[in-house]
Every structure is written in C-alpha cells, then in structure tokens.
Amino acid sequence: MLTWLIYDISVDKVRNRVARLCKNAGLYRVQKSVFLGDVESNRVDELHIECEELIDEQTDSLYVFPMCADDFKKVRTAGNAFDRELVSDEILSKFF
C-alpha cells in the first residue's frame, strides 16, 4: 500500500529515530519530514505504533496517509514540492 508518513517532531534524537524507522520500513524521504513508499498494510500499522511510542503527543505531530494508486495520480504539486530523485524508480514508475 502506498503510504505517506509526515511528522513534526521537536527533539532531534526522536526525529532521527522516526526517520530511521521510516527508512527501515522501505519508505523514501521526499522532504525533510515527509516519507513515501509502498508498504504492506500490517507493516503500516506497526510503523505507526512504533513512531507513536517515540513522540511526545503534547508537542509533536505524526500523520500516516495510506493512499491508493488512483488517488496518488490526482496529487498535484508546484515548484520544488516533490523531489523525484529521492524516491526510487520503482515507486515513481508505478505512478508517473
């Protein structure tokens, strides 16, 4: 399942741990706090729980957006909004 994971985390150590979890799950960094990738649905749930356990729910934000291919095709960007170099050719070839 194509999944976006987006966060705003105030503590560097926690932010780095969440980024590492995203990369280990097969997500690709498309911006500093935005990851995108094709992940099994049960792994999406696992990743959400792992990240949720790390963040401070009073100050940090975490968003996980599963998205089907048809909806992803409807995403519109402008300017330097999406760095295609950071996402694997496999993901891009499915949708662009």
**Cβ-contact 51, 18 below 8 angstroms:** yes
Determine which helix (DSSP H) or strand (DSSP E) holds 48, and give its type and residue range. Answer: helix 41-54
Verdict on whether the full-model pTM lies above 0.85: no
pLDDT at 88: 44
Assigned architecture for domain 2-90:
2-Layer Sandwich (3.30)
pLDDT at 35: 95
Share of the chain above pLDDT 70, in %: 82
pLDDT in tens, 58-84: 999 999 998 887 887 777 777 765 554
CA 17 to chain centre: 14
User: What ranges do the domains of the chain cover?
Assistant: 2-90
